[in-house]
């Protein structure tokens, strides 16, 4: 089993990363499994130039995007995590998503093999209407282009007053999500 987690927070060890750690713990990875953790804050991801060269050939930008996508292509499970910034994804995550335009231009960039996606978004304020709607919409086409299937969208509000790291029940639930996915994956084989 191969899992790739892509972290879109601008800080290390924050809420969205903590949530991902719990999900991964729930996966109970074994020696034969393969895990890749990608913190976008440590990667070089340049913005899409809208040059349209990808409709005729490869993307002209050479940075870490392709290496990350090579992992995603092989993955059974992809976990995306982002803080909510102005009701949308973080700017780093948006830059990353925009590079997916090359798969719109060339839909065969991804195999027919479907990969499950768990999307995690954390937000500082208490729950309000449409708090996660921008995140959902930003990821909608991206996940589609990656031949992904949104298996679970985890939305966590109110991190300003109680960070994920201090929520025991939430952490148990997150581990349970990982465990559930694992059970389904093992039953599939």
Ligand X SMILES: Cc1cc2nc3c(=O)[nH]c(=O)nc-3n(C[C@H](O)[C@H](O)[C@H](O)COP(=O)(O)O)c2cc1C
| Binding site residues, ligand X, CB under 6 A | 9, 11, 14-17, 83-87, 122-125, 131, 159-160
CB of 71 to ligand X, least distance (A): 21
| CB nearer to ligand X: pick between 14 and 148 | 14
Tokens 């679970």 label which residue?
152
Q: Which of 37, 29, 100 is nearest to 69 (CA)?
A: 100
Give CA angle at 130 (127, 131), nearest 5°: 45
Measured from the CB atom, is 21 or 159 closer to ligand X? 159
CB 33 within 8 A of CB 68: no
d(C-alpha 20, C-alpha 66), whole Å: 22
Nearer to ligand X, 15 or 76 (CB): 15
Nearer to ligand X, 66 or 127 (CB): 127
CA-to-CA distance for 77 and 146, rounded, in angstroms? Answer: 12
Could you tell me the CA-to-CA distances from 34 to 74, 79, 112, 177, 180 in Å, in that order?
Answer: 10, 14, 21, 19, 18
| Residue closest to ligand X when measured from CB atoms | 14
Shortest separation between residue 34's beta carbon and ligand X, angstroms? 24
Q: CB of 33: closest distance to ligand X in angstroms? A: 25
Q: How far is the CB of 126 from ligand X (least distance, A)?
A: 8
Smallest gap, in angstroms, from Cβ of residue 108 to ligand X? 34
| DSSP category for residue 85 | B
Starting from the edge strand earliest in sequence, which strands make up the sheet with 115-122, in order? Answer: 34-39, 2-7, 77-83, 115-122, 148-156
Alpha-carbon torsion, ordered 129, 131, 132, 134, to 10 deg: 100
Nearest to ligand X of 32, 86 (CB atom)? 86
| Rounded least distance, CB 1 to ligand X, Å | 25
| Choice between 153 and 185, CB closer to ligand X | 153
């Amino acid at each position: 089993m191969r899992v790739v987690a892509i972290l879109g927070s601008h800080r290390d060890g924050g809420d969205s990363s903590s949530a991902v750690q719990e999900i991964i713990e729930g996966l109970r990875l074994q020696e034969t499994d393969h895990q890749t953790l990608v913190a976008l804050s440590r990667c070089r991801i340049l913005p899409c130039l809208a040059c349209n060269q990808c409709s005729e050939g490869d993307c002209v930008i050479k940075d870490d995007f392709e290496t990350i996508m090579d992992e995603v292509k092989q993955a059974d499970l992809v976990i995306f995590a982002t803080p909510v910034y102005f009701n949308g994804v973080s700017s780093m995550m948006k830059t990353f998503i925009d590079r997916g335009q090359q798969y719109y231009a060339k839909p065969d960039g991804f195999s027919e093999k479907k990969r499950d996606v768990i999307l995690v978004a954390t937000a500082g304020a208490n729950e309000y209407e449409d708090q996660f709607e921008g995140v959902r919409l930003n990821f909608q086409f991206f996940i589609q282009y990656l031949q992904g299937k949104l298996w679970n969208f985890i939305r966590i509000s109110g991190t300003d007053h109680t960070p994920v790291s201090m929520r025991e029940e939430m952490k148990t639930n997150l581990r349970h999500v990982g465990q559930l996915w694992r059970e389904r994956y093992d039953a599939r084989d």
